[in-house]
Amino acid sequence: MYTAPCGPPGQPVVDSVSPNSIALHWDKPRDTGNGKIQGYIVEMKPTGGDWKEVNVDPVREPEMVVPHLKEGQEYQFRVKAVNEAGPGTPSTATAPVVAEKPPGLLDQACYLYLVYTRGDGCCNWSTR
Q: What pTM was estimated for this model as a whole?
A: 0.79
CB of 24 closer than 8 Å to CB of 66: yes
pLDDT tier for residue 114 given thresholds of 50, 70 and 90: very low
Helix (H, G, I), strand (E, B) or coil at 68: coil
Give tens-digit pLDDT for 6-23: 999 999 999 999 999 999
Instruction: Give tens-digit pLDDT for 27-83.
Output: 999 999 999 999 999 999 999 999 999 999 999 999 999 999 999 999 999 999 999
Instruction: Report whether pLDDT(128) > 70.
Output: no
Return the DSSP state at 59.
B
Nearest 5°: the CA angle 17, 21, 24 is 65
Q: Domain ranges for the chain, please list them.
A: 13-127
Q: In the chain, pLDDT over 70 holds for what percent of residues?
A: 80
DSSP 3-state of 82: strand
Mean pLDDT of 115-127: 51
Q: Which helix (H) or strand (E) holds 31?
A: none
Residue 81: per-residue pLDDT: 98
Confidence at residue 109, expressed as pLDDT on a 0 to 100 scale:
47
Confidence (pLDDT) at 3: 86
Domain covering 13-127, topology: Immunoglobulin-like (2.60.40)
